[in-house]
Amino acid sequence: MERRYRVLRFISTIYKIAGILAAALTVGMVVLAVLSAVLGPDALGVPAFWYRRMPMRTVPGSVFGALVMLLYGGGLALSLFAIGQVIDLFISLEANTRATTHLLEDLLAARRTPRPAPPAPPPGTGYTPAVGSESELPEG
């Protein structure tokens, strides 16, 4: 079966890769935020004049900043990855709908073709229709 919607698949892959990169950058920034508060500005090579202006220079400020970064970056990463998955879901939904349509068309075509009548029983075999069969039902 041919693969359809190549461009949408490509866009979906880009969204998923962006989500993974956003998650990795978020984790890295959270680790750096906590380390900069615990170890101080000199350990990470942050210039002192920048560090004095940062609200995260204390441990509580750093923990708060790390939580904000984690929530925002995690939400962004999750959203990007979810968009890629939703595009894949729509592509799969279309493929399944197409397969179901073909199956139903084949079933309807099979019902429309006349079936051959069953062969008549050989004479003298004592065949009698069963009770309640079509031959005994009233017409109408």
Q: Per-residue pLDDT tens for 49-90?
A: 555 666 666 777 778 888 999 999 999 999 999 999 999 999
Residue 73 falls inside a structural domain: yes
**Residue 140 pLDDT greater than 70, yes or no:** no
- Three-state SS string over 30-44 comes to HHHHHHHHHHCHHHH
Q: By residue range, what is the domain housing residue 10?
A: 6-113
- What pLDDT shows up at residue 126? 65
**Residue 124 pLDDT greater than 50, yes or no:** yes
**Residue 133 pLDDT greater than 70, yes or no:** no
Residue 70 falls inside a structural domain: yes
Better-predicted residue by pLDDT, 26 or 108: 26
Question: What is the Cα–Cα distance from 108 to 102, expressed in whole angstroms?
Answer: 10
- What pLDDT shows up at residue 66? 85
Residue 133 falls inside a structural domain: no
Better-predicted residue by pLDDT, 137 or 48: 48
Instruction: Identify which of 74, 83, 75 has the alpha carbon closest to the alpha carbon of residue 16.
Output: 83
User: Which of 35-49, 55-69, 106-120 is predicted least confidently?
Assistant: 35-49
CA distances from 105 to 5, 33, 90 (A): 24, 61, 22
Residue 128 falls inside a structural domain: no
**Residue 37 pLDDT greater than 90, yes or no:** no
Question: What is the Cα–Cα distance from 32 to 25, expressed in whole angstroms?
Answer: 10
User: Which of 1-5, 42-46, 118-122 is predicted least confidently?
Assistant: 42-46
Tell me what the pLDDT averaged over the chain comes to.
Answer: 81
Instruction: Indicate the number of domains in the chain.
Output: 1
- What pLDDT shows up at residue 15? 98
Question: What is the Cα–Cα distance from 95 to 92, expressed in whole angstroms?
Answer: 5
Residue 120 falls inside a structural domain: no
Question: What is the Cα–Cα distance from 6 to 12, expressed in whole angstroms?
Answer: 10
Residue 123 falls inside a structural domain: no
Question: What is the Cα–Cα distance from 29 to 70, expressed in whole angstroms?
Answer: 9
Question: What is the Cα–Cα distance from 5 to 98, expressed in whole angstroms?
Answer: 14
Q: What is the CA radius of gyration of the chain?
A: 35
Residue 96 falls inside a structural domain: yes
Residue 38 falls inside a structural domain: yes
